[in-house]
Amino acid sequence: MLVVMKAQASPADIALVCERIQVLGFRPHIIPGEQRTAVGITGNSGPVDPAEFEQLHGVAEAIRVSKPYKLVSRETKPESTVVFVKGVPVGGEEIALCGGPCAVESRDQILASARAVKAAGGQLLRGGAYKPRTSPYSFQGLGEEGLRYLAEAREQTGLGIVTEAVDTESIDLVEDYADCIQIGARNMQNFSLLRRAGRAKKPVLLKRGMSSTLEEFLMAAEYILSEGNYNVILCERGVRTFADHSRNTLDLSVVPAVKTLSHLPIIVDPSHGTGKRDKVLPMALASVAAGAAGLIVEMHPAPERALSDGYQSLDPEEFAELASECRAIAELLRSRRRVPVGAL
Ligand code: PEP
Ligand code: MN
């Protein structure tokens, strides 16, 4: 159920609607919009009677949301959401570019990576301090030491930090250090982690599970919003198919599909999406052309020595080329269509 307020509704009118929702035992979610504010209702197991709200002052209408996901739906919020990560808009006019190694391996490695991202015009630095690895014998990340190096890289360059929380134990520390908490593909349906991320004070980058449908992806985001964190960025990172020419199949058609169904920004990870260095640039360009709000790309100062995902990591020069080519595509689209790329 969505209670749509009239354009001239006052804050007191909105507060009264929220109070009524709470009295009924449900949770209100205030969703400000350009034209009007709406109040989403969650926590109800069955249908809510619209008459409960339609009589209240300032209410335009109370409507049922037809999709199983409510707060992430465009029905609930027609305007596209812009999520700010350390002041960097994701979902706005500009492409947001996040680069950095798969894992934080050392202080020197992450500081060199940060300088290279900055020099290429990127705004965000990625790097896992906690790594979800297929093998228990592979490098698992530096933990808090890695988070400290990321914080130092932020201090030196001003880049916002995106780093993964792999479980409900590590998320407290990740929340303290990061500007954006990444939830990885393997954890897309870790519902206790999603709920905890929903109570975090930082934005969340939610990666699509490697075999998840669009509806499962949006429902995972709904878990986060339902706990009160509305700053969620979705990320397509490839899905498992029969194809064996690439590590995953980058499902770019999910970008326009998400933009039809949801107001949340969606970015693309062409690194995990392809798993091969030579495919990262072409698929990054295609992502921008498909309307992605940004890119998250693996880049390592010396990919051949990387402790994880070196074969899909760009070197700093290749990353700079990707950044400039992607900006050129974004600029071309913007000048031709005269609309923000994120809203294409
Ligand atoms: C990552 O971005 O470091 C990562 C592990 O990606 P994914 O969760 O998409 O596999
Ligand atoms: Mn990786």
Per-residue 3-state assignment (H helix, E strand, C coil) for the chain: CEEEECCCCCHHHHHHHHHHHHHCCCEEEEECCCCCCEEEEECCCCCCCCHHHHCCCCEEEEECCCCCCCCCECCCCCCCCCEEECCEEECCCCCEEEEECCECCCHHHHHHHHHHHHHCCCCEEECECCCCCCCCCCCCCCCHHHHHHHHHHHHHHCCEEEEECCCCCCHHHHHHHCCEEEECHHHCCCHHHHHHHHCCCCCEEEECCCCCCHHHHHHHHHHHHHCCCCCEEEEECCECCCCCCCCCECCCCHHHHHHHHECCCEEECHHHHHCCHHHHHHHHHHHHHCCCCEEEEEECCCHHHCCCCHHHCECHHHHHHHHHHHHHHHHHHHHHHCCCHHHC
CA of 148 to the centre of ligand 2 (A): 20
CA of 184 to the centre of ligand 1 (A): 5
The response to whether residue 128 sits with its C-beta less than 6 Å from ligand 1 reads yes
Residue type (1 letter), 295: L
Distance CA 104, CA 111 (A): 10
Residue in 216, 219, 221, 180 with CA at minimum distance from that of residue 201: 180
The response to whether residue 237 sits with its C-beta less than 6 Å from ligand 1 reads yes
**Do residues 22 and 28 make contact, with C-beta atoms less than 8 angstroms apart?**
yes
- Residue-level pLDDT at 337: 75
Quick: pLDDT tens for 36-80: 999 999 998 888 899 999 999 999 999 988 888 999 999 999 999
CA of 91 to the centre of ligand 2 (A): 23
The response to whether residue 184 sits with its C-beta less than 6 Å from ligand 1 reads yes
Assign domain 83-336 to a CATH class.
alpha beta
Residue 152, both tokens: 């130092």
CA of 267 to the centre of ligand 1 (A): 13
Fold classification of 2-63 is Alpha-Beta Plaits (3.30.70)
CA of 286 to the centre of ligand 1 (A): 20
**Do residues 273 and 283 make contact, with C-beta atoms less than 8 angstroms apart?**
yes
Name every residue whose Cβ is closer than 8 Å to that of residue 25 and which is 6 or more positions away in sequence.
43
> Strand 83-85 to strand 27-31: parallel, antiparallel, or no bridges (unpaired)?
unpaired
Which ligand 1 atom sits nearest the alpha carbon of residue 131?
Answer: 5
Quick: pLDDT tens for 87-108: 999 999 899 999 999 999 999 9
pLDDT in tens, the chain (344 residues): 999 999 999 999 999 999 999 999 999 999 998 889 999 999 988 888 999 999 999 999 999 888 889 999 999 999 999 999 999 999 998 999 999 999 999 999 999 999 999 999 999 999 999 999 999 999 999 999 999 999 999 999 999 999 999 999 999 999 999 999 999 999 999 999 999 999 999 999 999 999 999 999 999 999 999 999 999 999 999 999 999 999 999 999 999 999 999 999 999 999 999 999 999 999 999 999 999 999 999 999 999 999 999 999 999 999 999 999 999 999 999 888 755 555 54
- Residue-level pLDDT at 81: 97
| Residue 128, strand partner residues | 103
The response to whether residue 103 sits with its C-beta less than 6 Å from ligand 1 reads no
Q: 303-332: string of b/e by CB count within 10 Å (b at 16+)?
A: beebbbbbebbbebebbbebbeebbebbee
The CA distances from residue 164 to 9, 46, 95, 99, 309, in Å, are: 40, 35, 21, 14, 15
CA of 67 to the centre of ligand 1 (A): 28
The response to whether residue 185 sits with its C-beta less than 6 Å from ligand 1 reads yes
Mutate to test the pocket of ligand 1, among 131, 167, 237, 271 (most ligand atoms within 8 A of CB): 237
The response to whether residue 208 sits with its C-beta less than 6 Å from ligand 1 reads no
Q: Whose CA is nearest to atom 3 of ligand 1?
A: 102
Q: In the chain, list all ranges with CATH 3.20.20.70.
A: 83-336
Nearest ligand (C-alpha, residue 127): 1
- Residue-level pLDDT at 197: 98
**Do residues 104 and 76 make contact, with C-beta atoms less than 8 angstroms apart?**
no
Q: In the chain, list all ranges with CATH 3.30.70.1140.
A: 2-63
- Residue-level pLDDT at 66: 83
**Do residues 13 and 5 make contact, with C-beta atoms less than 8 angstroms apart?**
yes
Which ligand 1 atom sits nearest the alpha carbon of residue 185?
Answer: 8
